[in-house]
Structure 1
Amino acid sequence: MFIQTEATPNPATLKFLPGRVVLPTGTFDASNAEAAAGSPLASRLIALPEVTGVFLGYDFVTVTKRDGEWQQLKPAILGEIMEHFLSGAPVLVEGGAQPTTDAEEFFDPADSETVTTIKDLLETRVRPAVAGDGGDITFRGFRDGVVYLNMKGSCSGCPSSTATLKYGIQNLLRHFVPDVREVEAV
């Protein structure tokens, strides 16, 4: 098994590509042992001393570290990912944790056409790019011209996430949806 690694814009995270589907649908985010309990893979990784977060996507695993150098932590992470997939264990515990899907959304029903356009733009133009960096972004709400988004994985806490929101996503949405004034992270 060959696992590729990619740097992300967040220096505290690294993206691991095991060359197979990790989660066929949704995502899974764990920032502590309790949250990781629903995933044998996430549990293995979060148990490593310097690991503070694990994010599972369609075909990648993003790991966030506390301190230390990647060159020292990376071999242990690669070993745990490889052992997990070679063991044949499931990524998620059956009947336990489920992949994260869209959380409860808020918006005025009169704005449903605008929200549909926003979601379509996020799904087709933004999420693939964000997943390429080891993260995910989901729609949370729309109120008074403000779009509320949730950033996960390497995007959560990334120094460049504010720039991504304000100059990338906000400009894209304003261009295609005149009702959008601003984009905020929740």
Structure 2
Amino acid sequence: MFIQTETTPNPQVLKFLPGRTVMETGSRDFRSAEEAGASPLAAAIFDLDGVNRVFFGADFLTVGKLVSADWDHLKAPVLAAIMDHFTSGQLLFGAGAEAAGDEDAYEGETAQVVAEIRELLDTRIRPAVARDGGDILFDRFEPDTGTVWLHMRGACAGCPSSSATLKSGVENMLKHYVPEVVRVEQTL
């Protein structure tokens, strides 16, 4: 098994490409060792000193490290944990621990606006962000203020350039294609 690595715009996050599907659908972000308990792979990576975040995408995973940790010392153990997991045939998640759906109930015209926002996110924005090892998920739309709230995950969470990506890229695109959108904010 050959696992490629790529840097991301966030110097504290490295992208790992195992050459196979990681998640069939959706994505999953683990921000603590407790959350990682839902996945044997995430738990094994969190067991390594210096790891503070793990994110699973469709065909990649990203690992975040503490500022005090060094990729020169951390990269090989992460690669070993990923290889051990995939060669052992273990499931990615324990029973009942897969990612939950994020569908909200909107009605009428607001439902149409939300559908347009989600479509733009899924077809144009998320694929571009995934190339950098991250993901952006819809949280909610406030029709009274025209505010879209988004979760930035993976390499995007805490990235020095995430504010610029959110405002210059995502907000401008959503405002251009969906006139009801006035601004975009990040859900923390």
Question: Is the TM value for this pair above 0.5?
Answer: yes
For 1:90-135, what per-residue CA distance to the aligned partner results, in whole angstroms no more than 9, with x for missing partners?
1111x23112432x64756431211111111111000101111111
Q: CA RMSD in A?
A: 1.4
Q: Aligned equivalents of 1:83 and 1:30: distance in 2?
A: 19
Q: Aligned equivalents of 1:19 and 1:86: distance in 2?
A: 12
Aligned to 2:26: 26
SS at match of 1:180: coil
Q: Aligned equivalents of 2:108 and 2:141: distance in 1?
A: 10
Q: How many residues align?
A: 184
Q: Aligned equivalents of 1:100 and 1:152: distance in 2?
A: 15
Q: Aligned equivalents of 1:125 and 1:110: distance in 2?
A: 22
Structure 1 unaligned residues grouped into runs of 5+: none
SS at match of 1:172: helix
Q: Aligned equivalents of 1:43 and 1:150: distance in 2?
A: 22
Aligned residue type for 2:149: Y
Any residues of structure 2 matched to 1:107-146 within 5 Å, and which?
Answer: 109-143=108-142, 144-146=145-147
For 1:49-77, what per-residue CA distance to the aligned partner results, in whole angstroms no more than 9, with x for missing partners?
11011111111110000122211110110
Contact 1:107 1:142 in 2 (8 A): no
Aligned residue type for 1:65: K
Q: Would the alpha carbon gap of residues 9 and 76 (structure 1) be closer, same or farther in structure 2, given more than 3 Å must change?
A: same
Aligned to 1:179: 180
Aligned to 1:61: 61
Per the normalisation by structure 1, the TM-score is: 0.94
Q: Would the alpha carbon gap of residues 106 and 185 (structure 1) be closer, same or farther in structure 2, given more than 3 Å must change?
A: farther
1:17 positional shift: 0.2
Runs of 4+ in 1 over 6 A off after TM superposition: none
Per the normalisation by structure 2, the TM-score is: 0.93
